[in-house]
Chains A and B, each alone.
Chain A
């Protein structure tokens, strides 16, 4: 059955009765249609008549001004709609990424709204893998972090992905990590309103979520910490840990959080910190099996340029540099003069060997 524009307006009675709306009669939704044949123009169905709460949430969301139908573009045709717990539902947890991806995996769409196309990044992540390959219902899908009807921009302080709310949002599932984070300096700083302190997504990213044991993650993590802790990064870079680590392929090298912990970061003055003096042997021996009390006197952040903090290292470096430059300068000059003299000798005598007959 088609309307004047050729659009199919037929409804399959069987699937309609099997749908969650099967108990309703046509006129419960199509309230403006009262006679047959129907008028030329029929008013759009107002879902909010029943679904008031959801409709008002959408009204205040980033999707409020979307040109597509606010309900059916995600939930599908209202005549065949099933409960969200039904695997056939477009909003069943395992189907969510595909549903959101209808628009958000669309390059043109993403570009139009100034969004990054994160669909494939998410699908390759541990969350995406769990949902799409393992069918894990509890794994994070789009909705778990962004919400459903009342999706807000991350710039909106009420959004679950607003910077201040990220730890709480991730903590919905990662409860233990959330508690550790909250006890650490970064968690306390964020809770205290210091938004420069890192939240989960600063290190783990929002969609890609690399495994912390993965080489790529270990390679990219240090500069992230270093973007705030500049001095510590600079001194770390002078050490063997960094020199090793930067070359890649040897990801076991100590990075920031291997010593400082990732989530429950505590200052060295805190006795619970892994870098507290009393805990150093235990911390270092995680990699250096034979670490002992004298071994842990090693300073992972020594600064050979600082005479006050590291006098011995400063003088060693100064001596080595002097030795290097004095030796090289003297012999470069010596060799250069020798070379020029031999060349002249060669020119004058027409034979290099003649030089020795002086």
Chain B
């Protein structure tokens, strides 16, 4: 229903009023998300059998793909891919901030950095859940989107550091105290478990599966959203741009039909893999794996 406009073949859509599309994510940002979720799925699929290695299914899976050697190799491979993606993102932020002198990157309504309004929005949103007040109007990034971003940011530093500390333990042992060599495994495993449970349940539902976005929010794949979506979901940003007369500058091309379908297939597969892993993780965790 929601994606009707996007999924409809051009001939059919031509009958309807031509809708405007607004750019939310750039192409590199969309690729970054794709690299992020493919490598994350790879890391989760190979990391979980290690975390729950006493679980029978974990062992069966591990033997099926070539034993621990294969699992660890693939885990490290995905880790390098994700590290490169993370470094690319840092470089991108640095370029935008210090080369392009982009305003509002670190502070303000379009920044990823949390501010007082996010706290107000959280409270307001919960009040709305309970029927105690109106629904808050959100800006470019809502508080839960900022949380998703920073959770991943923090997670990459923590899981990445602890992972490399295990990979190159003798080297890291030069600066880390003895107990830290023990702690990195606990930190790596617990933080990864948090990331897996969070992404495959909270992020999936909040961003993709909840009513209004179900089955998935296509904006991260196409980079564009309709005017209706833009206005409803990111009301304050829309209104600010409209008031400043800058709305036209954000207009983009209508997403290509084949690309939308391709993204839907990939996205659905990713979500399904994630949900399967979520169920298995919960079984292993509460089943005493």
Contacts and interface: CB of A to CB of B under 8 A. Distances in A.
Interface string B178-204: 111111011100110110011001100
Interface stretch (B21-29, B101-109, B169-177): B169-177
A208 interface: no
Interface in B193-224: 193-194, 197-198, 201-202, 205-206, 210-212, 214
B232 A353 contact: yes
B264 interface: no
Contact of B194 (A239, A250, A328): A328
Contact of B197 (A291, A328, A355): A328
B190 A317 contact: yes
B173 A331 contact: no
A341 B128 contact: yes
Contacts of A237: 54
A8 interface: no
B70 interface: yes
A65 B235 CA distance: 97
Interface stretch (B45-53, B78-86, B240-248, B265-273): B45-53
A246 B191 contact: no
Nearest to B213: A352
Contacts of A247: 49-50, 53, 58-59, 62-63, 67-68, 71
Nearest to B71: A247
Contact of A343 (B49, B134, B211, B232): B211
Given A290-B171, A294-B178, A316-B183, A249 B67 contact: yes
Nearest to A315: B183
A342 B210 contact: yes
B179 A292 contact: no
Contacts of B130: 337, 341
For the complex, would chain A's binding face be called helix, strand, loop or mixed by DSSP majority? helix
Given A246-B54, A247-B53, A247-B67, A352 B2 contact: yes
A312 B170 contact: no
A315 B126 CA distance: 32
A56 interface: no
Interface in A199-253: 237, 239-240, 242-250, 253
A335 B202 contact: yes
A49 interface: no
B186 A317 contact: yes
Interface in A328-358: 328, 331-332, 334-335, 337-343, 345-346, 352-353, 355-358
A67 interface: no
Contacts, number: 168
B211 A295 contact: no
Given A353-B232, A358-B135, A339 B210 contact: yes
A298 interface: yes
A151 to B, nearest CB: 41
A302 B144 CA distance: 37
Interface string A289-315: 111101101110010100000101100
B126 A337 contact: yes
A288 B151 CA distance: 33
A352 B201 CA distance: 21
B72 A244 contact: yes
B21 to A, nearest CB: 17
A320 interface: yes
A43 interface: no
Nearest to B67: A249
B104 to A, nearest CB: 24
B170 A291 contact: yes
A240 B166 contact: yes
Interface string B57-75: 0110011001111111000
A295 B58 contact: no
A215 to B, nearest CB: 9
Contacts of B129: 334, 337-338, 340-341
A85 B169 CA distance: 59
A342 B183 CA distance: 42
Nearest to B183: A316
A320 B174 contact: no
Given A247-B62, A247-B71, A352-B212, A320 B186 contact: yes
Listed residue (B126, B129, B166, B233) with the most chain A CB atoms within 10 angstroms of its CB? B129
Nearest to A356: B232
B186 A358 contact: no
A327 interface: yes
A316 B211 contact: no
B62 A299 contact: no
Nearest to A285: B170
A299 B191 CA distance: 21
A302 B182 contact: yes
A299 B183 CA distance: 10
B173 A295 contact: yes
A244 to B, nearest CB: 5
Contact of A313 (B49, B126, B173, B182): B182
B50 A294 contact: no
A318 to B, nearest CB: 10
A297 B178 contact: yes
A116 to B, nearest CB: 27
Contact of B185 (A240, A250, A358): A240
10 contacts: A247-B71, A249-B63, A294-B174, A312-B177, A316-B187, A327-B151, A339-B211, A342-B211, A356-B135, A357-B232
The 4 closest A-B pairs by CB, nearest first: A249-B67, A297-B178, A250-B68, A290-B170
Given A312-B177, A317-B186, 18 more contacts: A242-B53, A244-B68, A244-B72, A248-B59, A248-B62, A289-B170, A294-B178, A295-B170, A295-B173, A327-B151, A331-B198, A332-B201, A334-B129, A341-B131, A346-B211, A352-B211, A356-B135, A357-B232
